[in-house]
Structure 1
């Protein structure tokens, strides 16, 4: 289980619009903690795990790093195929780009997912796992 992960973005306003839409579709929340970053997670009471999203340059970056140069992949859990569909539609309306429409994924048992690219090209997924995933 993850504690947290993070994505450095080039345009915080565009990223916030995108991740607010994704969070709402998945029953999650975003919260501003600093003028240069926000977090996405379950709730303030259940703060971990979370996704950190901001414009601050991490201390661990090697020289030459920049937003979008090393594509990140983050998969959010969804409670149903309908939630995966809602994620996909919300993400596209909020500036995301299609990277794999909702549907069963070959090679994964009982797995239904959708992929979008966020405004910086990071691959963001919503995934549902259940007995009706391939129906």
Structure 2
């Protein structure tokens, strides 16, 4: 079981704003403020954050800085409470400057898998998903 993960990004302020807007439909808010790193988590009244956005550090290439080299592309899937939230995530991610990487809809991975994909400012593939494997998620609107 994971407690949290950190995504390293080239422009931390741009990415924090992207995730603040894109994850709002999933109930995520900025919770842990360890500037310049910000932790996001579900707005549940606790201080726990499970997704952190942090700047790349150090030289990415000889003689360069982190801005000279793209971040490694990562795929992160966030559990959504409903298909409506998946659609709202996709819309919010695109409105926040993300690029479409898969419109909301069922996926052939297995029955009950409904998701949407957007590329964040660094090209990371971000997904919101309702999955039959999670109690109460199948077909929930």
TM-score under structure 1 length normalisation: 0.83
Is the 1:37–1:56 contact (alpha carbons within 8 Å) kept by the matching residues of 2? no
For residues 1-135 of structure 1, the aligned pairs below 5 Å read 1-43=1-43, 45=46, 47-48=48-49, 50-57=50-57, 64=61, 66=66, 68-129=70-131, 130-132=137-139
SS at match of 1:20: helix
Q: Figure out how many residues of one structure are paired with residues of the other and give that number.
A: 130
SS at match of 1:40: strand
Following TM superposition, where does structure 1 have runs of at least 4 consecutive aligned residues deviating by more than 4 angstroms? 62-67
Q: CA deviation at 1:131?
A: 2.8
SS at match of 1:115: strand
Unaligned runs of 5+ in 2: 132-136
Distance in structure 1 (CA, Å) of the matches to 2:35 and 2:71: 23
Q: CA deviation at 1:82?
A: 0.3
Unaligned runs of 5+ in 1: none
Q: CA deviation at 1:31?
A: 2.8
Is the 1:23–1:30 contact (alpha carbons within 8 Å) kept by the matching residues of 2? no
TM-score under structure 2 length normalisation: 0.80
